[in-house]
Structure formats: structure tokens, C-alpha cells
Amino acid sequence: MGVGLWLLIALLAAPFVNAQPTEADLEAGEQIYLKRCAHCHGVDGDGVGASTDVVYPKPRDFTSGVYKFRTHHETEEGNWLASDADIARSIREGLHGSSMPGWETVLTAQQIDQLVHYIKTFAEVFEEDAPGTPLSFANEIPSSPESIAKGKEIFETVFDCQICHGTEGRGNGPDALAGLEDDWGYPIWPANLTKPWTYRGGSGRRDIFRNIALGIAGTPMPPFADPDPMAEALETDDPEEKQEIEALARELQENIWHTVNYVQSLWTYPQEPEVKSSLTAKRVEGALPSSPDDAAWQAADINYYPLVGQVIEEPRLFAPMTVGVEAQALHNGEEIAFRLVWDDRTESAPGEDEEVETFVDAVALQFSSKPLSGMEKPYFLMGDASYPTDLWYWRNDPGSVVLAQAQGAATFQVGNTGGGLVGQGLHDNGQYRVVIKRALQTAQADAEVQFPVGTFIPFSVTGWDGSNGESGGYLRTVMAWYNLYLEPEPSKAPIYLLLAGIGFGLIVEFSALYVTRKNHG
């Protein structure tokens, strides 16, 4: 592909640049900013607003002129500038998995343009420089097993992505666990590549390509396609040198596309799964599995449930690190077993760091402590005096499960009673997998949850990420009530009908044989 065609592709890929704003545009943009943006990004655009301390990642400092997600190479002056279209997209669509919402349904296209123009006034660099060469998305490689294998090799040996993102892509690489910071000194975690709906700048193929090629400015994520190789080709008159540069540029682009295909292969789900209202505990024969990796769990349905920070009561958790949990259930008519799986980059335990107070990682299944009728449910934040809740509480230190009963978050205390519970869990490469078992019925039928077969039982899950400072009844992730349904034993009526049919057939056959023999006797 010649340099001229490369340049044409780059120009076609360049986003539209808005016209010069008027004073009226800037005034309108300022009013929108003060109403919609200043509480996070600060009145002066320095990223220090009323909400800065409680959100993750921290709000953008507009005075630096540095934007994470842009579609242009570095300028000759060494600036990473976003185009107007880049900034407008972040405002319009928001940044997934962060506190930055999308404003497309609130602001008109004109208002977003006005906001872009005003935001740019915070950084003098926009007056002195313009975005660099647009990124080219040429030489795309379709996904295939061969491309995915090549991408895995590049991910691990060429780009060294696992240093930060981990070998399974869960954001738990050695550099991440050692502690990473952005250019403003704030702690920052690499993306969990297995959950595309949390990708800040989008999870489209071009979004992933862009982040690999240009990096994410202001963070430890470096660019792998800079300086612009085609700009180098334009600087030489030597045909052989141009051809060599073009070949290297093509190889680099293909390597990035292979890596895109590998990253997409890490996805457990292509988008955040739809939440099902009921979790079915499948009935099985024999002993229930005790290990979270037992093959028996392959027979159980998997439900995904999003988790959010507890923000109803003080103290509130505004920046949870755990975004969801997978739940499964099995029963055999006598016992019930649950399997919970969630991603947590760190295996936290007290005493790991003498300078920072660290809490344990934990999870709890929550049920009503006493029978309910109709649509009744306890208050989801651990119930109240009228409707207490049972919490089947598992913690990674010492790795056991106990029963805790609460009448509200303030009353939550972890006791030492087993409550007939048995648990086993492990932390494996950035992921927890836990199994909790108990008998369906207990002697305390009026004070502990019971599991009648064939009925719907409200349940929820709550969790604690110790390295994120989560502990106690308030600082934790929560989810709403959903229903658990225990699958009944299959009806034996069809078997009886089959046997009856066989018996009737035999009677008819023998009767016919008897009549035939008698007539010929």
C-alpha cells in the first residue's frame, strides 16, 4: 500500500472538527459546565470538585489538555491532543465502568459542541497546537483460531500486556499488584479485559485497537504505534526505505489486530448479561459437590448479578471494585449447595501492609431468617427488627463460613457459629470461587431460612473487597433481592403410565394368542 493511499485513509478516518466557537457558544458552554460537570471536574476544570474524593477513577483534569481516549498520534510538539469529536464522544457516551455518565439523552448535539469548546479553554495547549495525524485502522485481521493464537503470543511476548493485565486478563499482573499510579499520582488499576462492558473508552474493535496503538494518555498504558510510522515514510525520498517502513507499519497494524482478536477471546460475555429474576437450584442425585471446581457444577445454570456500592446509609461506598457475581445452585432433596464466582484482583488479608489497614475479602448469601408470605421481603440492607436476615458469611481468612444474623447493617456482627454451614473457596489468578452448603431444613425453622422444594425463596449477595477498604455492615457491595427456586423431583407419573401401557399391551397380546390357539384347538 503506497504512502498516498495511507494518507488518504488517515484523512478519511479523521473526525470532523467543529467551527470556531462564538462568544455566545462559550457562554452557553460555561453554563452547562457549571450545572452538569463542575461538581466532579471542579469549577476551574482542574479535576478537583466536590465529588472527586469519592469516585474512581478520578475526574479528568482539563487544564492539562491530556485526554485518555483520542484518535490522533502525538503532535510534533509532543502533545497528545484529542479532537473535538473525541471529546464530544466521551461526553455523549460517557466512560463505561466509571462515574462519568453519558449525556446524549440530556444534552442536545449543539449543547455538547458548546461544552467541548468551553472545556478546551481550560488548557492553553489547544491555542498553541492541534491534534496530530489521525490513527489509521487499516489492515484489519478477522478473528480466527490462528489469529487468536498469534494475538496471545504478541500479548505475552511482544507487548508484555500480562505485566499489568495478568495472564488471564483480569487486571492482576505483577506491576498492577505492586501499585500503579496515573500522571496525577492517583492509584489506578489496569482494565479487567474479561468484562468488556467496563472498558472506559468502549469495547468495539476499533476502540481496543486505538487503545493499544495510541495508549491511554495520563496512565501507565503506553502506545505501541507511535510515532506514526507513515509520517516517517513521508520524510524520506529513498524508495527502498519507504517500502521497508511501510512493511513494518503493516506488520505492526496486523499485530495489533491479532491482539484485538485475542483480547475479545477473553470475554466471558460480549456484554453485561441480562439479569434473570430467578436462580434455579437443579435437583441432582447423590452427594453435592464441595469443591468450586468440581465437574458437577457444569450441570447447573449460571446467573450473573451486578453488584453496586452501598450508598443508602453512611458510611457509603461510592467506588466499588467488584462489579458482579455469578451464582449457581444444586440440591439433592436433603442439602443445597451454592457456587459464587467473582473477580477480585487482590487476595486481601489483614497485616499484609503495615502502613495501610487491609481487611479480608468476603462474600455472603442473604436470606430472610423467618418465613415470608406473599410479596414480603426484608430490607435488603440486612433486614430490620421485624424481618431479620441470615447471612451465610464466607471470608478468605481463615477460609471458612459462618452464620451471621442481622436486624439492619448496624447490627451486623460476624459470629463463630457454623449454623450447619460448610464452605470451601479459593482465589485463582484474580478470581474467587466459593461453595457454601447446608441442609434444606434445620431444627430452627422459625429463626433460620428453610428451603422447601418447588417454591420461590428471596435471596441476595453482598461482598467485601478488603484491599478497597470494604468492611462491616456498610462499606460493601450489594444487590437487590432475587428469587431462588428449588427444582422438584421429576414426576414418576410418566413411568407409571409407561409400565401400565406395557402391561396392557402384554395382556392384549396374550389374550389374542389364547383366542387364536383355542379356535384352532
Q: Per-residue pLDDT tens for 172-194?
A: 999 999 999 999 999 999 999 99
Q: Which of 140, 139, 135 is nearest to 261 (CA)?
A: 140
Q: Which residue has the higher pLDDT, 492 or 158?
A: 158
CB 478 within 8 A of CB 307: yes
**Average pLDDT estimate for 49-61:** 94
Q: What is the 8-class DSSP label of residue 433?
A: E
CATH of 3-128, one of 2.60.40.420, 1.10.760.10, 3.40.50.410, 1.10.940.10: 1.10.760.10
**Average pLDDT estimate for 229-242:** 71
**Average pLDDT estimate for 264-269:** 96
Write down the pLDDT at residue 353. 62
Q: Which of 422, 418, 382 is nearest to 402 (CA)?
A: 418
| 241 — pLDDT class (breaks 50, 70, 90) | confident
Which range, of 63-77, 111-125, 175-189, 232-246, averages the lowest pLDDT?
Answer: 232-246
Tens-digit pLDDT profile for residues 363-415: 999 999 999 988 889 999 999 999 999 999 999 988 899 999 999 999 999 87
Write down the pLDDT at residue 4. 44
Q: What is the 8-class DSSP label of residue 33?
A: H
**Average pLDDT estimate for 497-513:** 47
Write the CATH number of the domain with boundaries 278-486.
2.60.40.1190
Tens-digit pLDDT profile for residues 14-25: 444 456 899 999
Q: Which residue has the higher pLDDT, 494 or 489?
A: 489
| Alpha carbons 243 and 171: distance in angstroms, whole number | 38
| Alpha carbons 306 and 21: distance in angstroms, whole number | 42
Tens-digit pLDDT profile for residues 23-38: 999 999 999 999 999 9
Q: Please state the domain extents for the chain.
A: 3-128, 145-265, 278-486, 495-521
Residue with cell 425453622: 445
Q: Which of 412, 405, 479, 402 is nearest to 446 (CA)?
A: 405
Q: Which of 310, 307, 288, 280 is nearest to 408 (CA)?
A: 310
pTM for the structure as a whole = 0.88
Write down the pLDDT at residue 236. 72
As a whole-number percent, the residues of the chain with pLDDT over 70 amount to: 88
Torsion of CA 50, 54, 56, 59, to 10 degrees: 10
Write down the pLDDT at residue 427. 97
- What count of other Cβ atoms lies within 10 Å of the Cβ of residue 237? 7
| 417 — pLDDT class (breaks 50, 70, 90) | confident
CB 421 within 8 A of CB 401: yes
Fold of domain 145-265:
Cytochrome Bc1 Complex; Chain D, domain 2 (1.10.760)
Q: What radius of gyration, in Å, describes the C-alpha atoms of the chain?
A: 30
Kindly tell me if the per-residue pLDDT of 511 is higher than 60. Answer: no
Write down the pLDDT at residue 5. 43
Kindly tell me if the per-residue pLDDT of 131 is higher than 90. Answer: yes
Write down the pLDDT at residue 515. 43
Pairing of strands 456-464, 308-309: unpaired
Same CATH fold assignment for domains 3-128 and 145-265: yes
| Alpha carbons 270 and 398: distance in angstroms, whole number | 35
Kindly tell me if the per-residue pLDDT of 6 is higher than 50. Answer: no
Write down the pLDDT at residue 491. 65
Q: Which of 432, 140, 125 is nearest to 257 (CA)?
A: 140
Kindly tell me if the per-residue pLDDT of 437 is higher than 60. Answer: yes
Average per-residue pLDDT in the chain? 90
Q: Which residues contact 75 (CB under 8 A, 6 or more apart)?
A: 81, 129, 130, 131, 132
Q: How far apart are the first and last CA of the chain?
A: 98
Cα 287 to Cα 290, 330, 336, distances in angstroms? 9, 10, 10
| 510 — pLDDT class (breaks 50, 70, 90) | very low
Kindly tell me if the per-residue pLDDT of 495 is higher than 60. Answer: no
| Alpha carbons 143 and 470: distance in angstroms, whole number | 40
Write down the pLDDT at residue 1. 43
Backbone angles phi, psi at 150, to 5 degrees: -65, -40
